[in-house]
Amino acid sequence: MYSIHQMSPAQITVQKVGEEDTFAEAAAFASRYHGLKKLDVTVTVEIAGTGLPVASFSTRRIMGDFTKQRWGGHKGNDAISAGEVRFDATLYIMSMPYEQVIGIRDDYDTSDHIGQAHVEWAGPCRVAIVDSMCDFFGVSKLNEISRDHFAFVVASRQQEIEDHRRATQLRQQPPKRIQTPEQAARDLVAALANLSAADPAVAQAQLNAAIARSRQIVGRAAAQGWDVAVVIEEDGDDAEDGFASPGPH
């Protein structure tokens, strides 16, 4: 027998909202429970009488509080608050190994590393996130999250997690060099100068590609606030000196 419970913010109240014979039935009931239409709600599925969730659904986010600090005081070894930042670590934690998740502690390296992955700060810091994690999973302490419970939550958010992972990978890639309009125009002139004279069809294809490229140059120049007319004028001499039309001379 499985029981379904709705937890209020900070688990001040826990209300039993249903009971089913099988886990599949209980999970289906919990996922459709009307309370999940509201923000800041967690619904858990428990083996009746244990008080420990084996699955959960939540409209909450795992929010961390990052306190920036700097060294000060008479001896320079006092951590003085220098501002606070709140960050969303939901998908980051969903991407962590289970053993690391249940080992997170506030104001410790395990939580500091999570905060530093979300907030740019080179100095000392303090991160509080455990209470928000407990509210998200519907437990009173992190070691009450079983491996199966964590795996269930991760599986239910797999698409969201994958999207987050891909976005993180893209942000970590080195930035691509962006051509200035002048550089792009010079490349276009070089391409026009090298149009094939041997095959008209090839020359036409190359010309079409050059035209498409020229439109890209104009579009990028306008987007970056460049004066397209000035760019063309500056490269005009180069075009006259280097341009060679296809065909015999």
pLDDT digits (tens, 9 = 90+) for 109-123: 999 999 999 999 989
pLDDT beyond 90 at 167? no
Rounded mean pLDDT of 94-108? 96
List, edge to edge, every strand of the sheet that includes 63-72: 78-88, 63-72, 125-128
> In the listed set 58, 81, 105, which residue is the last one of a domain according to the structure?
58
pLDDT of 173 reads 75
Could you tell me if 78 and 126 lie in one domain? yes
Percent of the chain with pLDDT over 70: 77
For residue 124, the one-letter residue type is P
Q: Is the pLDDT of residue 246 over 50?
A: no
Please tell me the distance from the alpha carbon of residue 41 to that of residue 11, in angstroms, as a whole number. Answer: 10
Q: What is each CA distance from 96 to 19, 104, 108, 121, in whole angstroms?
A: 32, 11, 17, 22
Residue 132 has pLDDT above 80, yes or no: yes
Q: Please, what is the average pLDDT of the chain?
A: 83
List the end-to-end C-alpha distance of the chain, in Å, as a whole number. Answer: 90
Length of the chain counted residue by residue: 249
Would you state the pLDDT for residue 196?
A: 58
pLDDT digits (tens, 9 = 90+) for 183-214: 777 777 777 677 656 566 677 777 777 777 77
Dig out the tokens for 67 from the structure: 């306190």
Is residue 122 included in any domain, yes or no? yes
| Final residue of a structural domain among 146, 173, 208 | 146
Instruction: Give the domain-ending residue among 119, 146, 173.
Output: 146
Is 176 part of any domain?
no
**Domain for residue 170, yes or no?**
no
Is residue 177 very low, low, confident or very high in pLDDT (cuts 50, 70, 90)? low
Domain with 138 in it: 63-146
**Range ranked top by mean pLDDT from 46-50, 101-105, 224-228:** 101-105
- Going by the DSSP 8-state scheme, the letter that residue 53 receives in this structure is E
Q: Specify whether 54 is located in the same domain as 67.
A: no
Domain count, the chain: 3
pLDDT at 247 (0 to 100): 47
Q: What is the pLDDT of residue 79?
A: 82
Same domain, 91 and 135: yes
- pTM for the whole thing? 0.66
Do β-strands 2-7 and 42-47 pair in parallel, antiparallel, or remain unpaired? Answer: antiparallel
Instruction: Report yes or no: 191 and 241 within 8 Å, Cβ to Cβ.
Output: no
**15 and 33 inside one domain:** yes
Query: Is 220 part of a structural domain of the chain?
Result: yes
The pLDDT confidence band at residue 101, using thresholds 50, 70 and 90, is very high
- Cα dist from 121 to 4, 28, 85, 127, 134, whole Å: 42, 43, 11, 12, 26
Each as own residue / partner, the long-range contacts of residues 79-86 (CB below 8 Å, 24 or more positions apart, any chain) are 79/124, 79/126, 82/123, 85/119
